[in-house]
Structure 1
Amino acid sequence: MRTIAEINDKISRQCAVAWTVEELKARVIEVGVTQAAREVDIIATGTFEPMESSGAIINLGHTDPPIKIRQCWMDGVLAYSGFGAVDLYLGATQVAEEAEESRAWGGGYVIENLIAGKPVHLRALGQATDCYPRTAFETTITRDSINQFYLFNPRNVYQNFVVGVNGGDRPLFTYLGPLQPRFGNAVYSNPGAISPLMNDPDLQLVGIGSRIFLGGGIGYVAWEGTQHFPLQKRLANRTPIGPAATLALIGDAKQMSPQWVRGCYFKNYGPSLMLGVGIPLPVLNEAVVAHSAVLDQDLVAPIVDFSIPRRVRPTFGLISYAKLKSGRITLEGKSVRVAPLASLYLSRQVAQTLKDWILAGKFLLSEAVAPLPCDRAFLPQDLGGSQLTMD
C-alpha cells in the first residue's frame, strides 16, 4: 500500500494521517481492518516504565594538566571509567556510595538532573602516566559543560513481561516493587495493548536504525537488546506469552526532558530510571493494522511466584491484560489487587506527543538498516560440573 519514502513525503507536507495506537484500535472496531488501513499512514505507540538496563555515556573534555580517569563519582554515584581517559558510563541502577541515608539515591537520579540542566558534583582519581600526569580532579558539571552526553541503553521496551506475586510469608522487595506475602498483591510491568512491540509482534517494522521518541528527544534502535528472546512461545495472534524481544536504544540526552526521563527508587531493591519511549509504526500494508488492532483481552502474561528464590520459578498460568487492568485477579480462590508498574497515563501521553510531532512535520520515519534477529535463544548461566557451595 505504501512505502516509508511516500509516508515521509506526506509528513514533510504535513498531510500524513497519524493515529495513536488506541485510536487505531477504536477505528478498527468501527470500520474494520481494511478501511482503517486505507485511512491511516502512521500508528504512534508509547510506553513509560522503569527500564533499569539504561545509562549514559559522558565525555568530560580534558583537564590541564590532563587526567586519565580510573575512578569517578558523580553526586556520590560511581561511574564506570575503564575506557577513554575522560569517557564515563553512568548506569541507572548504580547506588550512591555515601551515607546510609543516601541509599535511595542512584544513577537514574543523576542522569535526570543532568538532563534537567542541574549541577552535578564530580570527583575523579587518575592513573598517572607521561601523557596524563594528573591524579585527582574535582569540579561541578552540567549538561552544557560536557561534550557528548547520550543515553545508551542495553535493554529497553520488553515486548512482554511477567506478573509478580508472593506466595511466601514475608514481604519481598523486587524489581517490580514490593510484593506482599500470601498473595497480598500482584504487579505487572508491560502496558499491554498500547505497548510498542506488542503491536509489531514479529518485528517487521522496527529494526536497527529505526528512529524513535526517546526521553523527549530523538533516538534510534541501536541493536537487539540484551536478553532478546524472540523465540518465546506465542499465541495465534503472534504475541508472546512472556518476556520476548527487547531493544538497545541510543539518543542525545541533551535533547531530552526530565518530564520523560526520571530517576526512581525501589525500596530495598535499588535505583532505576523511568523512561518514555515512543515507536512509530508505518502502515505499509493491511497486515500492520491487523497486528495493531490487538486488544488487552487478546494478550497474556505469566503469573510468577517470586517467593521461590530460583531462576525458574513456579507460575500460576497465564492471565489476560484485560483482567490485569481490571484491578483485581483471582489467585487460588483469593481476590488479589493488581497494579501496573508502567504508567498507563504517561504511556498514552508519549504516544500522543509522538503523533503530534509527526503531524507537525517534525518527526520523519527512518528505514531500518538491518532487521532485528528473530532466532535468538535465551541462554542461562547454570553451574556446570561440580556444584559450588556459596557461603
Structure 2
Amino acid sequence: MDRSIADIREKLEKKEAVVMTAQEVSELVDRGESITTMDVDVVTTATRAIMSGTYALLSFPVNSPLCFKRASKVLLNGVPAHVGPCPNESLGVLDLIVFGTAHSTLEHNYGAGHLFRELVEGKNIEVSVVTDENVSFKSEIKLEDMPYAKLYATRHAFKNYAAFVNCSTEPVNTIFHATQFSPSMNGATLSGCGEINPVQNDPKMETIGIGTRMLMNGAEGFVIGEGTRSSPGKPNLTGVADMHGMDPALMGGFKTSAGPECIASWAIAIPVTSQSVLDAVLKTDKDIPMVVNDVDKRVMIGSSTYADAWKNTDPTVMFNPEVCLNCEVCKPIRDCPMEAIYLQNDRMILDRYLCFNCGLCSTVCPGEVFTAKLGTLHFEKDAKQLKIPIVLRQSDRKRSEELAEKLKKKIIDGEFKINEMVEKIYP
C-alpha cells in the first residue's frame, strides 16, 4: 500500500512512526525476519567518503573599503581560491570559490578538505591577497567572522562506487590509494557504504529529489539536483549546506598518492512510501554489486559485492601500542592518510577523532600494533576465481552508521523535519 510523505509526517508528529537506521533493517533481514511497509515508516541512511566534487563559496571582509579595487590572487592557508563571481573588493569584501580538490602551495599534503575542516573547527585561517596593482597583504579570518560560508556538492553520495586493483606491472599514483598502488593485483581499495548508502536505499529517486532536506557534514541542507556524471543507472546528487552548522569530525582531508582529497558526509531519511522503496531498503551488502576496476586503465575487470568489504570485517582498527617493534621508519605514521598516528613522548598515539577507519595502518604495520579484518575481494577474471585482500577503505562505514543513528534521533525528537521534494530528479 502506497503512502504519502504527509501521512508519514503525521505519524511522526503523533509519535506513532517507526524510525530505523538502514543498518538496523539489514540486521533484521540477515536474521531472516519479514519486514513489510507496516513495520517501518522511515529509514535513515548515511555515507562518509572521499568526495572530490566539492567546493566552498565564501564571502567575508578582508580589509577596509576602498583599500584596493580587485584581488587577482587569494590563498587560504596556501590553498588557491578563485576570486568572484561578484567583484566586491572595493568594499573590502572577498567573494571566493575554493575547489575541494585544490592543493596547498605551501604544504604538500594539505588541501581544501583540510582547510574546510579547520574552518569548521574554528581555527584562524591565513588569507594572502595579491591585488591587480600587485600589492600584497595578509590577514586572518575565522568561520564565525564569515557572514556567508556554504559547502556545495557537485557529485556526492553515489549509489555506490567501486573497488580498484592495479593490473599493471608498475606502481601507480592515484587518488584511489593513500600510497603508490602496488602492481600485479597485490591489494584492493574500495569506496561505498553498501547497504546503508543513501541512494542505494532509494535508487529510483522516489523520495529523494530536488528540495529534499538532508544532513551534509552534520548540518541541515538540501538536495538541489543530480550530480555530474549522474545517470538513472548510477545516480549521484548535488546539494548545499551552511558550513557554520557542520561537524568537523565528519569532514576533512585525505592524503592520496596523487595529492590530498576532500572528505564529506551525507545523511538522508528515506520515507517508506511504497513497496518498491521498501524492496530497495531490504537489500543487504550481499545483494549489492561492487564493480572491480583496473585503476591503471579505469576499466571494469570484474564484480564482487559489498559483503566482501563490510560483512564479518572490522569497522575500526584495534590499537595495541604496547607491542610496537620500534621500527626505524614507522610505516603507519608515514602512510596514514589522515595523519592520525604520531609519537608523543616516545609513545605511539592513534587519534580516533582524526582516524578515518580506512585500515591502511593494519596492512603496513610489520607488528601487531594495528590490526583489523578488512575483507577480501572475490571475483572472476579470465575464467579464474581471484581473491584479492582489501588494503584500504576510502569510505568510513563506522562513522556513517553513527551519523544515521544521529539522524534517527533527530527525527524522533522532532529536530529534523521530513519534507516533500519540489521536483523529481528523474521523472
* TM range, smaller chain: 0.7 to 0.9
Give the count of matched residue pairs.
347
Asked if the contact 1:41/1:282 (under 8 Å) is kept, the reply is yes
Correspondence for 1:385: none
**Separation in structure 2 between the aligned mates of residue 10 and residue 173 of structure 1, nearest angstrom:** 52
Q: Does residue 291 in structure 1 map to residue 280 in structure 2?
A: yes
Correspondence for 2:229: 227
Matches within 5 A, 1:190-209: 190-209=192-211
> What is the CA RMSD across the aligned residues, in angstroms?
2.0
Correspondence for 2:115: 110
Asked if the contact 1:303/1:315 (under 8 Å) is kept, the reply is yes
Distance change in 2, residues 1:135/1:371 (3 Å): farther
Q: 1:341 pairs with 394, 401, 420, which one? A: 394
Correspondence for 2:59: 59
Correspondence for 2:325: none
Deviations along 1:286-322, one digit per CA (max 9) or x if unpaired, are 33212200111211122111233xxxx4432221222
**Separation in structure 2 between the aligned mates of residue 120 and residue 145 of structure 1, nearest angstrom:** 11
Cα offset, 1:62, TM superposition: 6.5
**Separation in structure 1 between the aligned mates of residue 168 and residue 276 of structure 2, nearest angstrom:** 45
Matches within 5 A, 1:69-80: 69-80=71-82
**Separation in structure 2 between the aligned mates of residue 77 and residue 138 of structure 1, nearest angstrom:** 14
Cα offset, 1:15, TM superposition: 4.0
Deviations along 1:134-166, one digit per CA (max 9) or x if unpaired, are 954421000111110110111101112221100
Cα offset, 1:194, TM superposition: 1.4
Correspondence for 2:236: 246
Cα offset, 1:329, TM superposition: 2.6
Q: Does residue 323 in structure 1 map to residue 308 in structure 2?
A: yes
Correspondence for 2:293: 304
**Separation in structure 2 between the aligned mates of residue 296 and residue 270 of structure 1, nearest angstrom:** 31
Deviations along 1:263-300, one digit per CA (max 9) or x if unpaired, are 2221x311122222101001112332122001112111
**Separation in structure 2 between the aligned mates of residue 321 and residue 271 of structure 1, nearest angstrom:** 26
Asked if the contact 2:19/2:42 (under 8 Å) is kept, the reply is yes
Correspondence for 1:16: 17
**Separation in structure 2 between the aligned mates of residue 196 and residue 252 of structure 1, nearest angstrom:** 20
Letter matched to residue 19 of structure 1: M
**Separation in structure 1 between the aligned mates of residue 221 and residue 138 of structure 2, nearest angstrom:** 31
Matches within 5 A, 1:90-169: 90-98=98-106, 102-127=107-132, 136-169=136-169
Asked if the contact 2:308/2:378 (under 8 Å) is kept, the reply is no
Asked if the contact 1:152/1:250 (under 8 Å) is kept, the reply is yes
Letter matched to residue 96 of structure 2: L
5+ long unaligned stretches in structure 1? 129-133, 233-243, 375-391
Asked if the contact 2:21/2:408 (under 8 Å) is kept, the reply is yes
Q: Secondary structure in 1 aligned to 2:96?
A: strand
Letter matched to residue 395 of structure 2: A
**Separation in structure 2 between the aligned mates of residue 306 and residue 31 of structure 1, nearest angstrom:** 39
Distance change in 2, residues 1:4/1:333 (3 Å): closer
Deviations along 1:87-123, one digit per CA (max 9) or x if unpaired, are 101112101112xxx1101111111001111100001
Which structure exhibits the higher relative contact order, with contacts defined as CA atoms closer than 8 Å and separated by 6 or more residues? 1
Q: Secondary structure in 2 aligned to 1:83?
A: coil
Letter matched to residue 208 of structure 1: I
Correspondence for 1:379: none
Correspondence for 1:89: 97
Cα offset, 1:192, TM superposition: 1.1
Q: Does residue 261 in structure 1 map to residue 246 in structure 2?
A: no
Asked if the contact 1:56/1:152 (under 8 Å) is kept, the reply is yes
**Separation in structure 1 between the aligned mates of residue 164 and residue 83 of structure 2, nearest angstrom:** 35
**Separation in structure 2 between the aligned mates of residue 174 and residue 88 of structure 1, nearest angstrom:** 28
Correspondence for 1:383: none
Q: Does residue 5 in structure 1 map to residue 6 in structure 2?
A: yes
**Separation in structure 2 between the aligned mates of residue 250 and residue 168 of structure 1, nearest angstrom:** 39
Deviations along 1:212-240, one digit per CA (max 9) or x if unpaired, are 0110110110121111122x3xxxxxxxx
Instruction: State TM-score, norm by structure 2.
Output: 0.77
5+ long unaligned stretches in structure 2? 88-93, 312-374
Letter matched to residue 102 of structure 2: Q
Distance change in 2, residues 1:257/1:31 (3 Å): same
Asked if the contact 1:11/1:364 (under 8 Å) is kept, the reply is no
Asked if the contact 1:70/1:82 (under 8 Å) is kept, the reply is no
Correspondence for 2:410: 357
Q: Secondary structure in 2 aligned to 1:249?
A: strand
Deviations along 1:21-57, one digit per CA (max 9) or x if unpaired, are 12123345554232xx212221000111111111211
